[in-house]
Amino acid sequence: MTTFSLAGRTALVTGGSRGIGGAIVELFANSGAKVGFCQFGDNRSADALTGKLASSGVTVAHTSCDVSKEDQVEALGHWAGQILGHIDILVNCAGIGGDLLFEELTVEAFDRMIGVHLRGTFLITRQFYPAMRDKGWGRVINFSSQLAYKGAPGQSHYCAAKGGIVGFTRALSYEAAPHGVTVNSIAPGPVETDMLMGLSDGWRAMKQAQLPIGRFGHVNEIAPTALLLASEAGSFYIGQTLSPNGGDVLL
């Protein structure tokens, strides 16, 4: 097995129908892994991705799951066992956006943000981590954000969720590492995804001017960080948060 090969490994990616998650699905599959992913309300993109990969001779499977719902996560676990078998690599990439000043932030909006990002990361990891621990090998890769470190107006609920993921990652890594399971996270900066494209031209121009690199990132510049952490090359990373962010925040 070469250093970055995933041959013989099985991976599950949440939020894998498009954006960063979709890029990870594609990269992992092309790196030799057996890959499945879940999405919620995005069947069209999921079918397009699986069709694209099938045209190049690569088969991936997908299903629907709201990662904030315990019963749906349990159903995902059953699906994965039937379709994929044992999960070696878990990528918690499911996420939502939202821009609300604190005075406008409702309990419902706060709970939904925390539910998808932080509760979802917990539920999904709880579903698949025990089997990794018992087998003595595994990779858990969580997605945070550079905003967990620097904050942003209108993003208190998002920053709270993403900051929680950093803390969750660090704590679980202490428990998991002795069992051969690494737990790390990725905190991307602003990346050209549907979420970013939905923001105003003025905001995009302002944000781009702030970046030392002078541009937004691309999903294919984030996915290799996940490959590093998933492969044998990432075996010495424990409880770390890697941040490919174009200089938006210097950690």
**pLDDT tens readout for residues 229-250:** 999 999 999 999 999 999 999 9
Buried b (16+ CB within 10 A) or exposed e, 116-150: bbbbbbbbbbebbbeebbeeeebbbbbbbbbbbbe
User: What span, in angstroms and rounded, lies between the C-alpha atoms of 237 and 179?
Assistant: 14
The residue-averaged pLDDT of 144-152 equals 95
Average pLDDT over residues 209-225: 96
- Is 80 exceeded by the pLDDT of residue 198? no
Please enumerate in sequence order all residues whose Cβ is within 8 A of that of 31, keeping only pairs 6 or more positions apart, or say none.
Answer: 4, 5, 6, 7, 227, 231
**What is the model's pLDDT at position 217?**
96
Rounded Cα gap, residues 20 and 222, in angstroms: 7
The one catalytic residue in 149, 158, 174, 237 is 158
Q: Cα dihedral sign for 44, 48, 54, 60?
A: negative
d(CA 168, CA 239): 9
User: What is the side-by-side order of every strand in the sheet holding 138-143?
Assistant: 61-64, 34-39, 10-14, 89-92, 138-143, 181-186, 241-242
pLDDT of residue 180: 98
What pLDDT does 203 receive?
A: 75
Count of other CB atoms within 10 angstroms of residue 238: 16
- Label residue 145 by pLDDT band (50, 70, 90): very high
Calculate mean pLDDT across residues 181-203. Answer: 87
1 pLDDT above the threshold of 60: no
| 199 three-class SS | coil
Angle at 80 between CA 243 and CA 188, to 5 degrees: 10
* CA atoms of 96 and 64, how far apart (whole Å): 15
Residue 158 a catalytic site member: yes
- Cα separation, 44 vs 85, in Å, equals 25
10-14 and 89-92 beta bridge pairing = parallel
What does the pLDDT read at residue 194?
Answer: 83
Every domain of the chain and the residues it spans: 10-242
The residue whose two tokens read 């490919």 is 244
Percentage with pLDDT > 70 across the chain: 98
In the predicted structure, residue 53 carries a pLDDT above the cut 60: yes
Res. 173 pLDDT band, cuts 50 70 90: very high
Q: Domain spanning 10-242 has what CATH number? A: 3.40.50.720
CA-CA-CA-CA torsion sign (52, 232, 93, 60): positive
> Does the structure show a pLDDT above 60 at 41?
yes
Q: What single-letter amino acid sits at 207?
A: K
| Average pLDDT of the segment spanning 64-86 | 98
Asked if residues 140 and 80 have their Cβ atoms less than 8 Å apart, the reply is: no
- In this prediction, residue 10 carries a pLDDT of 98
- pTM over the 0.85 mark: yes
